[in-house]
Structure 1
């Protein structure tokens, strides 16, 4: 488990990422996409857990253009607000390019033919959807993704499997937006939606006040089965 440096694909310079490697040859690789709190302890723990399952896991610092290296605690009100402020300043298109750079770097660390997926949370869930539409990710998962209703125009570009976990009582994703997600994606042959009634945004965080253990364990078990099927 270590920090490494990745090369950008848009001539914007190199940037940091957290790398967790399994013992032996990786079964595949997964790029872990941060929330609005940076590559913090929770995201690093997500990577470590994936490595324990045999995957190479890589979490790029997507806030590197505006707050490189930042790590925030969502249970601290001032840090939650800082994360929201960073979200408002964040260039999502540039973020997807950095995810693509991380996917390329992960492929280079795998045996020939190795597959790479992505998994993201909150902002990262939205970016996982965007990655499914804009990159060559072999399988993508988004947890409580925000604002998917205004990305439905990109659904035709989703060529590989995508799973989205939807918190039924999400303070950042209204019932109307959830309904639009179902209306727009339920019939897409590559997309699977799972609803978690009564759960709030952030229910699958690794620790802290937002975590809802039963829902988190169910969602994570579905994610692991999905990656096992589509990545190996």
Structure 2
């Protein structure tokens, strides 16, 4: 595990990116897109998981324009949540998407990489993975319980890369009406697959979290693994 610097394309500076390498190379790259809690312990664990699957994991610090290296833990009290929402509300999503695109470009050319790069995001990151599917050249994209996807679907975007969407049926941040709009909006899209996981809440795949659900997470993660292998090798 190492940290590298990637330059922002707008000249505003550079941002830290966590790197975890797999045992075998060359390998496809997965750009992991954080929740609202920064590059915390959950993102470190996900990076290790992605590397265990045989991919290079790149996890950029997307809140760096507000504060570098934000690390918040959702299970450590209300104050952590309040800070997280502050950073989310101050996050410029278009600049964040540009930073994701810069990370994708770096991943294509880095040592040990095969040239194929996908994105995988959670919560806010799930929204950004959706945006990456329409606004970057990523080879594939995975969205776990992405927020405000109904608004993105309403824009009737053109999908540039394949997208896998995981939706929690009881997601308190994505109510049933929003879920219906998402599912209706992507129905028939050849590049999009969406799955709803019954009886689980937002962040059901965050191991050790309050909403963790082993069955749903295993099914979702299995679909993710097959999807990444298909598109990244």
| TM-score range normalised by the length of the shorter chain | over 0.9
* Cα distance in 1 between the residues matched to 2:83 and 2:191: 35
For 1:169 and 1:10, locate their aligned partners in 2 and report how far apart those are by CA, in whole Å.
39
Root-mean-square deviation (Å): 1.4
SS in 2 for 1:115: strand
Listed one character per residue, the Cα deviations across residues 182-201 of structure 1 (whole Å, up to 9, x for unaligned) are: 11101111000000011100
Give the corresponding residue for 1:190.
191
Q: Which range is displaced more, 74-83 or 89-98?
A: 74-83
- Mark the runs of 5 or more structure 1 residues left unpaired by the alignment: none
CA distance in 2, matches of 1:111, 1:41: 25
Q: 1:52 to 1:133 in 2, by over 3 A?
A: same
Gaps of at least 5 residues in structure 2 are none
TM-score of the aligned structures, taking structure 2 as reference length = 0.96
4+ runs deviating over 4 angstroms: 110-113
Written as runs of structure 1 = structure 2, the 5 A alignment for 1:207-218 is: 207-218=208-219
The whole-number CA distance in structure 1 between the counterparts of 2:211 and 2:119 is 22
Task: Tell me which residue corresponds to 1:203.
Answer: 204
Give the conservation status (yes or no) of the 8 Å contact 2:6–2:15.
yes
Deviations 1:62-89 (A, max 9, x none): 0001121011110122101211121111
Match of 2:62 in 1: 62
The residue aligned with 2:52 is 52
**Aligned CA distance change for structure 1 residues 154 and 23 (closer, same or farther; 3 Å):** farther
* Counterpart Cα distance in 1 of 2:182 and 2:213: 23
Assess, with a 3 A threshold, how the Cα gap between structure 1 residues 133 and 154 changes in structure 2: closer, same or farther.
farther
